[in-house]
Chain A
Amino acid sequence: MTSMASMNWLVPLPVVLPLFGAGLALALYRSPRAQRAISVVTLALVLAASVSMLAVVDRGPLVLSIGGWAPPIGIDLVADRLSVLMLTVSGAVTLCVLLYSLAQGEADGDEEAPVAIYHPTYLVLTAGVADAFLSGDLFNLYVGFEILLAASFVLLTLGGTGARIRAGTIYVVVALLSSVLFLVALALTYAAAGTVNLAQLAQRLPEIDPGVRLVLQILLLLAFGIKAAIFPLSAWLPDSYPTAPAPVTAVFAGLLTKVGVYAILRTQTLLFPGGRTDTVLLWAALATMLVGILGAVAQNDVKRLLSFTLVSHIGFMVFGIALSSEAGTAAAIFYVVHHITVQTALFLVVGLIERRGGTTSLDRLGGLAKLSPVLAVLFFVPAMNLAGVPPLSGFLGKVGLLQAAVDRGTPLAYVLVGGSVVTSLLTLYALIKAWNKAFWQTPPAGMPTDRHRTRLPVGMVGSAGALVVLGLSLTVVAGPLYGYADRTAVSLRERSPYIGAVLPDGVRGLGRPVPIGPVAGATP
């Protein structure tokens, strides 16, 4: 344990470094070059810290008590397998998207967007995401959410054009509403259990009234369900994401909904084992998959089409979580990792399509396969990966989910098996439709068909390509990755590794809901 304790200093880096970098970037707003360097270095360091924690937390969670306040009094950052896996994937994705946006800014001469605010906000966003992943405390999770939301508000409305203000309004109001719900859930949790420390809640919640516990569970599910865009709480997403600049949409699509999925996974396994909401969640997962993909089929704009597939595939992850088995959880974790990389890659490639073809409307695109073969490959590979064509990682994730559902064996699980197969086929249909129109149909009048007039910047193609390759490499390392996801699922279901790491002295303050420390009106 001593060697592990000495690695503690790595835990806060993914939160602290981007915040520090954001401050520095803001101070150096006059020098775009310095800002770029700061962002790249910061995110590379965050990625390095996350990767170096991967092997360490495989032996047991790392816990850091902020300010030296022993848990459960202080705020803890807990890095277990799930947190670090999410951090590593999000680190890689945010770095790729940053490089993409740098290349875009260079190509456009930095005239399009108010760049001085872009880099600090982007770094704050990554800090918020990391804080949510690392938080060992429900209230700190709320703060992490707010950090990333505040940053996302700014990024979504960059430039303040009419379309972005219109889309941003809906996004901001919905996000604030879910924050209020989360606050209510927090207050009730504290009233019922006298703590917001996740490990301590895991010890105390089984002892409170089951009805109250169910209310807390449902409130938290509602708050996280809005963020994860689970039907019927998903209507805000396809309308608000597509209007943002391509890199912003890409990083939102990859990470923000997944933070909600992460929060659901964490609270369902750690705080509310026993699966009392599984039936509801399974139905919600089915509805999310089907409604999302039917929405995608009806679109003739690539960005909106992809936003709908994003909603639809959140259903797969909820499906895995709601199976409440080790196999289901492991499949959901694998699927999250796969989906973050693939969905982000697709949105970056759509940014390239918009650049080359001048639009994302499928009616006005065509012949891109001939005009830009590189773009065709970059779109085709992640599209097939998303649809789940063997042997790509999307296929492996879906097979894992289906196997876990068959193991569960209930009629509802089989309904979900059918629903997810239909969803996969419809995903394939929607993406093939997009492919046919954008890449194969004869270019409509008005589309720039000159091969050399609009060359794609090498940096943008390179960073999008890197993400596509990362998605492909998930297939290559699928064995070890699935093993890691399996071990993660086992320790999530056991709960004791997490609780034991945060509260090594064992049970503390069990029994009556007693707020920590002296309490008004307490009688000895």
Chain B
Amino acid sequence: MTVDMRPSIVLVVVIAALVTVGVYLMLERSLSRVLVGLILAGNGANLLFLVAGGAAGGAPIVGTTPIGRMSDPLPQAMVLTAIVITLGLTAFLLAMAYRSWQLNQHDEVQDDLEDRRVARRAAADQPSFTDADTEDSDANLDDEAAAVHDETDEGRPGSGRADEVTR
């Protein structure tokens, strides 16, 4: 038994376009764009399942379509599962973007604490390492990092800038 596994060129082009745009958007700062990027890339993956199922055929119900002309139902079942999962997680991510907007008036993905620490130390020209001989600081990590330049804070009055933080 051989299977016609030659993929449709239209599907392949659409998948390529979806994944490309998805990856581009995921590299953005704004969480809503990242979200759209994830949805697009996820849909690209879903379409890939359709390609994986082989050429399209009739409904895979015994009695309606002769055996041999049926579509492969398994990838479609998997795509349905994946779509439902993506829907749920998308809703969650949207809620997070909204919460981020509530808290910060923007939904931009903020810098990693470690990155901001390194930036602060670089700006203050300090070693990256403290030990028992170093003076104690009163601020904890979150306070320190919050006072550090973050790209997403650019141009906002009152936001701490790296060059202002000195010890």
Contacts and interface: CB of A to CB of B under 8 A. Distances in A.
A160 B99 contact: yes
Interface in B48-71: 48-49, 51-58, 60, 67-71
B141 A522 contact: no
B74 A518 contact: no
Interface stretch (A29-37, A163-171, A452-460, A470-478): A163-171
A270 to B, nearest CB: 20
A238 B85 CA distance: 26
B91 to A, nearest CB: 10
A165 B45 CA distance: 27
B49 A165 contact: no
Contacts of B69: 520-521
B81 A520 contact: no
B48 A520 contact: no
B92 A188 contact: no
A180 interface: yes
Contacts of B51: 187, 191
Given A184-B45, A518-B67, A176 B93 contact: yes
Contacts of B113: 239
A186 interface: yes
Contacts of B155: none
A143 B80 CA distance: 12
Contact of B3 (A179, A186, A515): A515
B104 A162 contact: yes
A521 B92 contact: no
A191 B129 contact: no
Given A188-B52, A364-B136, A143 B81 contact: yes
Contacts of B131: 433
B41 interface: yes
Interface in A45-87: none
Contact of B140 (A142, A179, A187, A301): A301
A299 to B, nearest CB: 9
Contact of A190 (B57, B75, B137, B142): B75
A361 B140 contact: yes
B103 A520 contact: no
Which of A166, A179, A297, A512 gathers the greatest number of chain B CB atoms within 10 Å? A166
A198 to B, nearest CB: 15
Interface in B26-51: 26, 31, 34, 38, 41-42, 45-46, 48-49, 51
A113 to B, nearest CB: 16
A150 interface: yes
B101 to A, nearest CB: 10
Contacts of B74: 190, 515-517
A235 interface: yes
Contacts of A184: 45, 48
A441 interface: yes
Contact of A165 (B56, B103, B137): B103
B151 to A, nearest CB: 13
B52 A239 contact: no
A227 interface: no
A190 to B, nearest CB: 4
A337 interface: no
Given A160-B99, A437-B132, A187 B49 contact: yes
Given A165-B99, A512-B1, A519 B54 contact: yes
A2 interface: no
A186 B78 contact: yes
Contact of B38 (A150, A168, A176, A522): A176
Contacts of B89: 146, 149-150, 153, 172, 176, 179
Contacts of B136: 363-364, 444
Which of B26, B41, B96, B128 gathers the greatest number of chain A CB atoms within 10 Å? B96
Contacts of A143: 81, 85
B88 interface: yes
A300 B89 CA distance: 34
A301 B88 contact: no
Interface string B122-162: 00000011111000111011100000000000000000000
B159 to A, nearest CB: 14
B82 A183 contact: yes
B109 interface: yes
A304 interface: yes
A127 to B, nearest CB: 15
B81 A522 contact: no
A183 B96 contact: no
Contacts of A298: 128-129
A524 interface: yes
A249 B31 CA distance: 24
B109 A169 contact: yes
Interface string A126-159: 0000000000000100110010011001100100
A523 B1 contact: yes
B57 A180 contact: no
A415 interface: no
Contacts of A162: 103-104
A524 B1 CA distance: 5
Interface in A209-254: 235, 238-239
A522 B5 CA distance: 10
B5 A172 contact: no
B166 interface: no
A300 B72 contact: no
A501 interface: no
A452 to B, nearest CB: 25
Contacts of A149: 89
A7 B58 CA distance: 41
A463 to B, nearest CB: 27
Contact of B110 (A166, A194, A433): A166
B72 A177 contact: no
A173 interface: yes
13 contacts: A150-B89, A170-B112, A177-B26, A186-B49, A190-B75, A191-B5, A238-B114, A298-B128, A300-B130, A512-B3, A513-B5, A519-B70, A522-B68
Given A143-B85, A150-B92, 4 more contacts: A154-B92, A170-B112, A176-B89, A520-B70
